[in-house]
Amino acid sequence: MKLYLLEDETRILEHLLHILSKISYIQVIGSAAEVAKASKEIPELKPDLILADIRLKDGDSFRLFDELGAEDFQVIFLTAYDQYAIQALNMGSFGYLLKPIDEKALTTMLDKCFHHRKQEAFDRQQLAVARDQYLAQGIGASKRIALKSLEYIEIVAMEDIIYCKSDRGYTTFYLNNKREILVSKGLKEYESLLTAFGFLRCHQSYMVNFQYVIRYYREGYLQMQTKEQIPVSSRKKEEVLRYLENIA
């Protein structure tokens, strides 16, 4: 698997090259610290995978991927930023690694990319979601999320999600057009991201978009505009009440 590196810190670049030299199926074909250099080399070298630091010397790698146009490669983002940014990238269905880079984590992710390289090609729609979410970093954030089902990846507006329900490692998103999207991730994977958009975890199995909540019943459930009744667990009751007080 041909790999290209985007990294502007010499120490981190050397650390990555040391790890990669020990992986038999990886061939490092080039590296760059600048968008300008990478934009010329990547179309010529045609890598299968790019390890991409987000901030480079002359811009960010999101801009680079915009400039490249349609290319057939996978991307693993490298970032030193906070957990919200990490989860935002994950919602865009890209690989990500938090700096300082852990050798075992990198090796595991590379192995996954190697064995799924035909199924996990670069997706520009996913990139747009990842870029929007990352740049927002939770402040006036982009109101879209990429939901990956077995058949497709759908871009959904946050405001169109009424609530989410998890069951045995899967999550169903219930939308305001009466559609449902089932994804193969647990609710915990989405919790931090959705919280930034006015969602609240009211139960181990439920997270609600509070713009659709019209009433809280003290026996333990929320009435939604769409007539669904969502349970509130005893453990989450105080948190729900605090949220309601803050709205008032």
Q: Could you read off the pLDDT of 17-67 as tens digits, one per residue?
A: 999 999 999 999 999 999 899 999 999 999 999 999 887 878 778 778 877
What's the pLDDT at 146? 81
Least confident of 73-77, 80-84, 150-154: 80-84
Q: Could you read off the pLDDT of 197-232 as tens digits, one per residue?
A: 788 999 999 999 999 999 999 999 999 999 999 999
> 100: how many CB neighbours lie within 10 A of its CB?
9
CA neighbor of 63 nearest in space, from 153, 146, 127, 5: 127
Whether 77 shows a pLDDT value over 90: the answer reads no
Instruction: Name the strands in the sheet holding 2-6, side by side, starting at the edge strand that comes first in the sequence.
Output: 27-32, 2-6, 49-53, 74-79, 95-98
User: What's the Rg (C-alpha) of the chain?
Assistant: 20
Q: What percent of the chain has pLDDT over 90?
A: 42
**Angstrom distance (rounded) from CA 148 to CA 215:** 31
Which residues 6+ apart lie within 8 Å of 32 measured at CB? Answer: 4, 5, 6, 38, 41, 56
Q: CA-based angle 184:190:193, to the nearest 5?
A: 150
In 54-149, where do the E strands start and end? 55-56, 59-60, 74-79, 95-98, 144-148
Q: Share the mean pLDDT of the chain.
A: 83
Main-chain phi, psi angles of 225, to 5 degrees:
-60, -30
Please tell me which residue, 189 or 174, carries the higher pLDDT value.
174
**Angstrom distance (rounded) from CA 181 to CA 153:** 10
Q: Could you read off the pLDDT of 86-142 as tens digits, one per residue?
A: 555 554 546 778 777 888 989 998 998 888 765 555 566 666 666 666 655 543 445
> 73: how many CB neighbours lie within 10 A of its CB?
19
Q: Residue 89 has which token pair?
A: 């990238």
Please tell me which residue, 245 or 200, carries the higher pLDDT value.
200
What's the pLDDT at 139? 39
**For range 68-83, the mean pLDDT:** 72
**For range 70-98, the mean pLDDT:** 65
